[in-house]
Structure 1
């Protein structure tokens, strides 16, 4: 299941009390998440208001649902972005309806301006709060979520928001607005509230206010129409009136895929009957969404088609879904893209091929048009243009496009041919994965050079000749650079680094790839450096050393340790990094004195930004494979920088390769390392989650000599503390953290999402970053964690 989409909603098994014809709820009444409470039912018992349990977990949604049909379809909900835990409670008082979580914090409230005398769940599905004169002072019908019901009306300014997925009730990617006299459907720049130009409008606005729409009505006969100010009724364009049947339930929902659909369901339904669509707008959302900004109906790099009234998203050849469990997540290439991938050292026609797709179009985002051209000329132009990802040929013109592609759609006819540039082979120097459409795959590391054995031998000979000539001219200087490698890197001799480190005298630390020594570069104003002396490489990894060094040399980010240069002389392989004066995060976190809470917050954000860069923003995405506090260094300002990135692929020895090819450090290793599955960037997300808990708690992830066994494994203990609402245990004696309890709780939740066993359930580092910074709501982690790890 994909992140945030694994929550399947089941009915909350409650024994129902006898219901009387009068369903008024008196002040002081409450509902809780315990089994002792029944929901508040309408007089006919057709609708219920109460708590719905999520996936048999410890999480609950306050909702209204159809009570008498098997799937108990939810039609309204209060806390979609913030489900509550067991022990939460909703209370009716004279001031309104308040939902408090298990810690007593208010999650949601309906507080009308007038005093409330009672509440009632009506047979229409409307939950109302009434005053003493029986007038309604608050209604769920006036505060809709994604669904409207017969007898419900939407006034000007009303909004419906889609869910994020069918089973995730967080605010989604589409909105319905009744505004300026018209019904409009808009895509949203998720996760923000900004919305793009509408893709559907009823166009019932009129400059004459008396002839403009003022109300959207879903009447008792289940017909939906717009009423103008002059009381003229206007049928929604392309929406036909239905033949109402008394033995059917009706609803109209803005579905997660952006289609506003009216459904019907037999009242006396068997378990195999379901909601059937009876009308929807727009008729073809794939064609209707056409914006310069945003991805279109489906995600970026995918294309949309209509099947059984619904949009379906697919990937072009050479691409896979970003989230295999969410076809609307967009697609990504299974090979590296861009002008820095191959340095122009090989003929593009040797590396790439054209795969043709017909009857599909991405109409926007061209950066060049060539005409008159034939198809062969169009293909060759894209193959030899490192910026070109795809070309579209219409018989005489050739349009070239870069990624990402947007607004992809299936075309029923037309001559145009879409020509995708796809890599013929995976490059050998990176930690590659076998891409599987049923797995959540990330773009893994691939070599910057090709796999031609002859070319590699030639390049190796040239490299050795350059190195020898370089040494003959006086032993070499750190100020010089090797043109074979990244021009930003210096090529050092072994003698230079031996002198700089005083015969490798002062050891700074040991890692899985070698020993790090402190040094002073005499030829660079006595600049302090850290020299990593790598374990001996096998001969067959020589080319990988070059490509990895080139990849690392092109990374530039304030939260990555800077690589200054390297040495490749004889059997010696050394890397020269900037020196960071405050040592490792491990020494900082696990010292006797607890570090400052706010400084720890900044350090966690620094690390997250560095990982986002490695995974998504550098030319060739990099998986670190060994994120832990010992690989995080701190500069003089305590800015955190990730070290050893990219080095997991350099070493070929018995210590780094086991039968399961496990890389990493005990306590930080993701579960998939122990399985015969492809490794993705989600292994870094798992390690970051463990380390985030360490940053929060200032303790190591595994403490086997702990006097209390339940505290030995930090991830398990953190979840228990979270479920039991005892965050004070995690942040004991940390007054600053406890004073910032909201952030503390949210960050623990983020960490628990990161360490989910199934990598598909973990967020990407980009999403982690958005949650840490507060731009995205953090859903409650699944309760299944304890069953998997406990």
Structure 2
């Protein structure tokens, strides 16, 4: 499937070849052509740039700070000493529609746990998205070492602490609740995974990459009849029900969220090619989850502790681990209708994680 490609592209000079390769494997029917219009930044937050301004901000695309299958991210030098990040999609008709769709969605969003769109360029042949710069890498980096590590001089240490892991799970659920339930046109992200979760200096999470997102429905989108349909998601995070049926819904994001909770608890990757021919984390942990859930309160603290990331060195609360594992099991349920909503996820965390309960109380007290 085209959306599972892991290609990396260095710059825009090779985009014609790249676009052809992507178009050969990816259909375009999954994109709403009605969104292919010019945007005026009417939300008052995002500035519209010319392409020459984008070139100037990026110093002619001189410093790459990230890359993926379909785009490259460059450092942007904004006014004063401020910096940002400029995302450039590789050129093809399909990817230009991806850009249009992502821009259309980003212009609707404003949430502390979603990366902020500062500006954009939407010329006829050129497109760019200018974001706030989130300086501490991704959750993928921090959990699995795929990039910069937290330095020993950092107040958080070299290992992502348990309390921060729980806070990230809570913040991500807040972002999902905003997308699923609080946006006027409800949104399914479609590609929830650690590499799409940026972390700031305080390790607060910022959800990014809305290239697969779908907007404007309350329950589900039925698949099209076109055989070249583009599937959402990434290996290890994609809802099996969606893979079987092609029906997109909010519960696809909830499934992916459950996988991330397992990663936060265990420190294991969702999909590892090194395990034989490749094995899913859900396949490894699934049988253990069933035993633990069946055992209920009788499940021994030792059994619970055995599932936790050994890098934490025992610095965690067993009660909180059990709550997180139980939450993951609910999110990973085979039937989407039985999975919790994002609001129910938040309620579960608030009621079962003391550190989050205290934080919520403090926030409510400040609002009084």
TM over 0.5: yes
Structure 2 unpaired stretches of 5+: 1-27, 150-157, 216-225, 293-298, 354-368
Using the TM superposition, give the Cα deviation of residue 538 of structure 1 relative to its aligned residue in structure 2, in angstroms. Answer: 2.2
Using the TM superposition, give the Cα deviation of residue 715 of structure 1 relative to its aligned residue in structure 2, in angstroms. Answer: 1.4
Report the counterpart of residue 273 of structure 2 in structure 1.
Answer: 704
**Does 1:718 pair with 2:290?**
no
Q: Residue 608 of structure 1: SS of its match in structure 2?
A: helix
Using the TM superposition, give the Cα deviation of residue 589 of structure 1 relative to its aligned residue in structure 2, in angstroms. Answer: 1.1
- Change in CA separation of 1:582 and 1:754 when aligned onto 2, cut-off 3 Å: same
Q: Quick one: distance in 2 between partners of 1:517 and 1:772? A: 36
Measured against aligned partners, the alpha-carbon deviations of 1:250-297 in whole angstroms (never above 9, x if no partner) come to: xxxxxxxxxxxxxxxxxxxxxxxxxxxxxxxxxxxxxxxxxxxxxxxx
- Change in CA separation of 1:742 and 1:508 when aligned onto 2, cut-off 3 Å: same
Report the counterpart of residue 254 of structure 2 in structure 1.
Answer: 685
Question: Which of 332, 335, 341 matches 1:755?
Answer: 332
Report the counterpart of residue 558 of structure 1 in structure 2.
Answer: 112
The answer to whether the 8 A contact 2:48-2:121 is kept is: yes
Q: Residue 774 of structure 1: SS of its match in structure 2?
A: helix
Report the counterpart of residue 160 of structure 2 in structure 1.
Answer: 595
Structure 1 unpaired stretches of 5+: 1-428, 433-445, 450-455, 464-481, 651-656, 777-790
The answer to whether the 8 A contact 2:305-2:318 is kept is: no
**Does 1:774 pair with 2:328?**
no
Measured against aligned partners, the alpha-carbon deviations of 1:102-158 in whole angstroms (never above 9, x if no partner) come to: xxxxxxxxxxxxxxxxxxxxxxxxxxxxxxxxxxxxxxxxxxxxxxxxxxxxxxxxx
Using the TM superposition, give the Cα deviation of residue 739 of structure 1 relative to its aligned residue in structure 2, in angstroms. Answer: 4.5
**Does 1:531 pair with 2:89?**
no
**Does 1:496 pair with 2:53?**
yes
More helix by share: 2
Q: Residue 187 of structure 2: SS of its match in structure 1?
A: coil
Report the counterpart of residue 309 of structure 1 in structure 2.
Answer: none
Using the TM superposition, give the Cα deviation of residue 760 of structure 1 relative to its aligned residue in structure 2, in angstroms. Answer: 1.5
Q: Residue 675 of structure 1: SS of its match in structure 2?
A: helix
Measured against aligned partners, the alpha-carbon deviations of 1:19-68 in whole angstroms (never above 9, x if no partner) come to: xxxxxxxxxxxxxxxxxxxxxxxxxxxxxxxxxxxxxxxxxxxxxxxxxx
Using the TM superposition, give the Cα deviation of residue 629 of structure 1 relative to its aligned residue in structure 2, in angstroms. Answer: 0.4
Q: Quick one: distance in 1 between partners of 2:91 and 2:241? A: 28
Measured against aligned partners, the alpha-carbon deviations of 1:429-462 in whole angstroms (never above 9, x if no partner) come to: 9979xxxxxxxxxxxxx8987xxxxxx8xxx6xx
Q: Quick one: distance in 1 between partners of 2:99 and 2:273? A: 37
Measured against aligned partners, the alpha-carbon deviations of 1:613-656 in whole angstroms (never above 9, x if no partner) come to: 01111121111100000000011111101001355469xxxxxx
Measured against aligned partners, the alpha-carbon deviations of 1:683-712 in whole angstroms (never above 9, x if no partner) come to: 1011111011111112211223248x9x94
Q: Which has the higher contact order (CA 8 A, sep 6+)?
A: 2
The answer to whether the 8 A contact 1:507-1:516 is kept is: yes
Report the counterpart of residue 306 of structure 2 in structure 1.
Answer: 729
- Change in CA separation of 1:718 and 1:494 when aligned onto 2, cut-off 3 Å: same
Using the TM superposition, give the Cα deviation of residue 740 of structure 1 relative to its aligned residue in structure 2, in angstroms. Answer: 0.7
Using the TM superposition, give the Cα deviation of residue 559 of structure 1 relative to its aligned residue in structure 2, in angstroms. Answer: 0.4
Q: Quick one: distance in 1 between partners of 2:268 and 2:95? A: 41
**Does 1:515 pair with 2:72?**
yes
Q: Quick one: distance in 2 between partners of 1:584 and 1:677? A: 29
After TM superposition, list the pairs within 5 Å mapping 1:286-685 onto structure 2: 483=40, 485-521=42-78, 524-538=79-93, 548-591=102-145, 593-645=158-210, 647-648=212-213, 659=228, 661-685=230-254
What RMSD in Å do the two structures reach over aligned CA positions? 3.3
Measured against aligned partners, the alpha-carbon deviations of 1:206-247 in whole angstroms (never above 9, x if no partner) come to: xxxxxxxxxxxxxxxxxxxxxxxxxxxxxxxxxxxxxxxxxx
Q: Quick one: distance in 1 between partners of 2:286 and 2:141? A: 25
Report the counterpart of residue 341 of structure 2 in structure 1.
Answer: 764
Q: Quick one: distance in 2 between partners of 1:570 and 1:576? A: 17
- Change in CA separation of 1:728 and 1:490 when aligned onto 2, cut-off 3 Å: same
- Change in CA separation of 1:570 and 1:431 when aligned onto 2, cut-off 3 Å: closer
Between the two proteins, the alignment pairs up a number of residues equal to 295
- Change in CA separation of 1:752 and 1:539 when aligned onto 2, cut-off 3 Å: closer
- Change in CA separation of 1:764 and 1:658 when aligned onto 2, cut-off 3 Å: farther
Superposition TM-score, scaled by structure 2 size: 0.71
Q: Quick one: distance in 1 between partners of 2:94 and 2:143? A: 39
Q: Residue 692 of structure 1: SS of its match in structure 2?
A: helix
Using the TM superposition, give the Cα deviation of residue 535 of structure 1 relative to its aligned residue in structure 2, in angstroms. Answer: 2.6
Using the TM superposition, give the Cα deviation of residue 717 of structure 1 relative to its aligned residue in structure 2, in angstroms. Answer: 2.4
More strand by share: 1
Q: Quick one: distance in 2 between partners of 1:658 and 1:766? A: 35
Using the TM superposition, give the Cα deviation of residue 754 of structure 1 relative to its aligned residue in structure 2, in angstroms. Answer: 0.8
- Change in CA separation of 1:714 and 1:727 when aligned onto 2, cut-off 3 Å: farther
- Change in CA separation of 1:720 and 1:640 when aligned onto 2, cut-off 3 Å: same
Q: Quick one: distance in 1 between partners of 2:103 and 2:309? A: 44
Report the counterpart of residue 231 of structure 1 in structure 2.
Answer: none
- Change in CA separation of 1:681 and 1:646 when aligned onto 2, cut-off 3 Å: farther
Q: Residue 245 of structure 2: SS of its match in structure 1?
A: coil
Using the TM superposition, give the Cα deviation of residue 546 of structure 1 relative to its aligned residue in structure 2, in angstroms. Answer: 5.2
- Change in CA separation of 1:671 and 1:660 when aligned onto 2, cut-off 3 Å: farther
Q: Quick one: distance in 1 between partners of 2:171 and 2:66? A: 22
- Change in CA separation of 1:604 and 1:484 when aligned onto 2, cut-off 3 Å: closer
Using the TM superposition, give the Cα deviation of residue 548 of structure 1 relative to its aligned residue in structure 2, in angstroms. Answer: 4.8
Using the TM superposition, give the Cα deviation of residue 580 of structure 1 relative to its aligned residue in structure 2, in angstroms. Answer: 0.5
Q: Quick one: distance in 2 between partners of 1:514 and 1:606? A: 26
After TM superposition, list the pairs within 5 Å mapping 1:151-162 onto structure 2: none
Measured against aligned partners, the alpha-carbon deviations of 1:585-634 in whole angstroms (never above 9, x if no partner) come to: 11011138531111111111111111110111112111110000000001
Q: Quick one: distance in 1 between partners of 2:88 and 2:133? A: 15
- Change in CA separation of 1:596 and 1:739 when aligned onto 2, cut-off 3 Å: closer
The answer to whether the 8 A contact 1:660-1:675 is kept is: no
